[in-house]
Homo-oligomer: A and B are copies of this chain.
Amino acid sequence: MEVVQQDTQIRFNNHEHSRKIKAWVQDNRTYANLGKCANYIPALERANPSQLGICIIGSNGSMVKMGDFDTAFTLQSISKVIGFIAACIDYGISYVLERVDVEPTGDAFNSIIRLEVHKPGRPFNPMINAGAITVASLLGGRNPVEKVESILLLIERIVGRYPTINEEVFHSEWQTAHRNRALAYYLKEMGFLDCTVEEALEVYLKQCSIEVTTEDVAMIGLVLANDGYHPIRKEQIFSKEVARLTKALMVTCGMYNASGKFAAFVGIPAKSGVSGGILAAIPPRGRSGDSPFMDGCGIGIYGPAIDEFGNSVAGVMLLKQISREWDFNIF
């Protein structure tokens, strides 16, 4: 399936790039066999593991969509990026970093060890669950609904559509969140939560359950690529400092325990979720004269078969190929 879209802002992309992306999606879709869908809740388990879709949006408004680009999926851990940005918008970087550090850990996303060993240290970074729950607790708003609203509104400003929360997913997450509750109660005891444990979890699990498509994710990536500036809406959504900090976090901690390998072999700021989504931001650069998207672009990928680390298998392989072929590696 191929879509080349145009409206007042989004323009046709040239055919050669579309043709290449089409071939790469086909080629890399086979890697989905090496993974399987997350199965801890029914909604994720029901996903079609052979799907693979992508949307790329350039700074000039050009867009390429290919494969299963229009399947709706929940943000899951990709929401950690949005939550972190929303918290920085509301309170400033300094305030947020008093509650959560920005160091990679090498531990599993849901690890609790480091909190105890480094007691009474902050969670190591906002891309692991401990850090993301801490960030969720300090979002602007007097209650969980308002806190989630600050994330929903930020997404709306970027994608032009108020997103919905997948209530089935949220309900399932809520029921099975034993490990996250363990983390949250630990954080509460250590004084890192600005609200009750149940409130923080409600915010965190609702932000994880926000439903998007690859286009939404690509648009978020586009704004990150442009240092917080929305090149299509022509609006500064958040500061350059927040954007740079967020992209650095994506590189050092964005792909779970495979972040180092992803940086080493793909070299793109990216954040994955167990639903199979990947958010990537390609900053503008002038390295190779003949690559497309020289002014930067945002990429949204969906491929629900994930690997042992929690990353979309086919999605990572697709991004790796794109990065190599079009020299998107930032290093």
Contacts and interface: CB of A to CB of B under 8 A. Distances in A.
Interface of A: 101-107, 111-114, 116-117, 124-125, 178-179, 181-186, 188-189, 197, 243-245, 247-249, 251-253, 257-261, 263-265, 267, 269, 283-287, 294, 329-331
A182 B189 contact: yes
A212 B69 CA distance: 53
Nearest to A240: B329
Given A116-B112, A186-B112, A287-B284, A251 B102 contact: no
Contacts of A245: 264-265
Q: Pick from A181, A248, A251 the residue with the most CB of B within 10 Å.
A: A248
A248 B269 contact: no
Contact of A247 (B179, B188, B286, B331): B331
Contacts of A263: 102, 248-249, 251-252
A107 B261 CA distance: 18
Nearest to A244: B331
Contacts of A125: 260
B102 A260 contact: yes
A267 B248 contact: yes
A17 to B, nearest CB: 20
For the complex of A and B, 7 pairs with smallest distance between CB atoms? A286-B286, A178-B189, A103-B260, A104-B104, A247-B331, A182-B185, A105-B106
A260 B101 contact: yes
A248 B331 contact: yes
Contacts of A244: 264, 267, 329, 331
Contacts of A259: 103-104, 252
Contacts of A101: 260-261
A124 B251 CA distance: 17
A38 to B, nearest CB: 15
Contacts of A248: 251, 260, 263-264, 267, 331
A261 B283 CA distance: 20
A104 B103 CA distance: 9
A36 to B, nearest CB: 20
A251 B113 CA distance: 25
Contacts of A104: 103-106, 252-253, 259-260
Contacts of A107: 106
A261 B102 contact: yes
Contact of A105 (B102, B105, B269, B287): B105
Contacts of A260: 101-104, 124-125, 248-249, 252-253
B331 A269 contact: yes
A112 B114 contact: no
